[in-house]
Amino acid sequence: MVDIAALARLGGVKKYAADEVFFNFGDRGKEMFIILKGRVGVYINSFDGFQTKVAELKAGDFFGEMSLLEGLPRSATISSLEETVVLIINDANFEQVIAQQPSLALRIMKGMSNRVRQQNEELSFLKRGSKQHDEEALEGEVTAAPAAPVALSGAIFPPGHKSYPVMAPQTHEPYLFDRDTDCPVCEKKFPVRMMRSSKMRLERVDPDMRQRFEEFEPVWYNIWVCPHCLYANFNFEFKQISDALKPKIIEHGKTLKSKINLTDSKPRKIDEVFLSYYLALQTAQQAAKPDSGKLAKLWIRLSWLYSDVGDEEMYEYTSREALANFKDSFFNGRRDTSVEQDQRLNLVLGELSLRLGEKEEAMKFFRDAIVRKGGGNNVLNKQAEDRLSELRKAVTENESGV
């Protein structure tokens, strides 16, 4: 048993309010944390880099040890689910802590060895997977990589986008709170609406992986826009912007200023939400080689919003952009995803293809989503199988003229 009181005497005790972020996925850091009181949520990037809560940790648990011991970037995002008190361990007090609490050292080592084993399994599976892909490519069986997706031209909104008289319902309010943040591009302060993820209750997940929450829609609040320089990005990646891009974003922001009227209503208007996503697309396209994975994340969320306001034409347009970008990132991007992430991505690719009437493509993606071993997730296998059999049935009925 870890003697928390003895550890606390070593100093480095810090209190976090509910919904505070300890660190984000990918951050650099050199501390580990032991929870003395409270609870935290562990969030990993889901199929498209979006965040899903995968675990909760409570008093006596610890996190962040990989960064402390090996200097690795953070492998998950951690935020407090309630008021939480932690002991922060760093290079300065690490030896002292371990000397006082050998049982803690043992637990950390066990945790690390499990993690290394899991990573090795995933890695060997990924290697097998990519080898298979190469062989298939030689046989010409793999779908050709699609052309790079079309970038938005000078206009902010694509043709066909309209204004929609929709406002956020009152039920969103308890899930939000205000805070100031610093823009990493122009370094000015501005207010943002933060989400109380500790309160959010997942109701279900749609076939295209859209997460539905009771009384709340995070898609409305996922993008932060700096009102000074018009830098826009997903809230959880907001601080992750390369120095090289900053001057380009500032320059581009100046040209955008005259084209838009940035407002921030309470409750939010859906027109403001649409604008935030299109501004995030503008930011993403400032990169020399835009990240198609990020563009896909933005386009699929736009498709959800258009579906919510019932704009069929824009729903199809944005679904097509999402599909093109997901394909680009899937076939041409870095493949450092887990088996399960790939399953989800195949399912999303299948759903989007189906939505656009590309049945053969959809069936291929659903088949690829089925993974029987090496980290394959059975719920996802089942979803892919169900989709496949529905599609086969529809095709047979069509052929027999029923």
Phi and psi torsions of 182, nearest 5°: -100, 135
Instruction: Scan residues 128-147 and list those touching Zn ion (CB under 5 A).
Output: none
Judged by beta carbon, residue 279 or residue 354, the one nearer Zn ion is 279
Told to check if 256 binds Zn ion by CB under 5 A, we report: no
The one among 107, 228, 248, 335 contacting Zn ion by CB under 5 A: 228
Judged by beta carbon, residue 229 or residue 362, the one nearer Zn ion is 229
What is the C-alpha separation between 3 and 203, in angstroms, rounded?
A: 39
At its nearest, how many Å lie between Zn ion and the CB of residue 25? 23
Contact string (CB under 5 A) for Zn ion, positions 230-249, x = contact: -x------------------
Told to check if 89 binds Zn ion by CB under 5 A, we report: no
Contact string (CB under 5 A) for Zn ion, positions 307-346, x = contact: ----------------------------------------
Judged by beta carbon, residue 264 or residue 385, the one nearer Zn ion is 264
Q: Which two tokens stand for residue 174?
A: 């308890």
Judged by beta carbon, residue 115 or residue 189, the one nearer Zn ion is 189
Question: Which H/E stretch holds residue 89?
Answer: strand 84-89
Contact string (CB under 5 A) for Zn ion, positions 186-205, x = contact: x-------------------
Q: Which two tokens stand for residue 143?
A: 């779908």
Range list of H helices, 1-64: 4-8
Told to check if 226 binds Zn ion by CB under 5 A, we report: yes
Told to check if 367 binds Zn ion by CB under 5 A, we report: no
Cα atoms found within 13 Å of the Cα of residue 281, Cβ hemisphere only: 28
Residue type, 180: D
Q: In a 3-state reduction of DSSP, which class is residue 77?
A: strand
For the beta sheet containing 32-37, the strands, ordered from the edge strand earlier in sequence to the opposite edge, are 13-16, 84-89, 32-37, 62-63
At its nearest, how many Å lie between Zn ion and the CB of residue 190? 7
> What SS3 string covers 211-262?
EEECCECHHHCCEEECCCCCCEEEHHHCCCCCHHHHHHHHHHHHHHHCCCCC
The one among 36, 229, 284, 362 contacting Zn ion by CB under 5 A: 229
Residues linked to residue 13 through DSSP beta bridges, in sequence order: 87
Instruction: Scan residues 147-186 and list those touching Zn ion (CB under 5 A).
Output: 183, 185-186
Q: Which two tokens stand for residue 276?
A: 């935030």
| Alpha-carbon 287 to chain mean position | 19
At its nearest, how many Å lie between Zn ion and the CB of residue 254? 12
Cα atoms found within 13 Å of the Cα of residue 81, Cβ hemisphere only: 18
Judged by beta carbon, residue 130 or residue 255, the one nearer Zn ion is 255
Q: Which residues bind Zn ion (CB under 5 A)?
A: 183, 185-186, 226, 228-229, 231
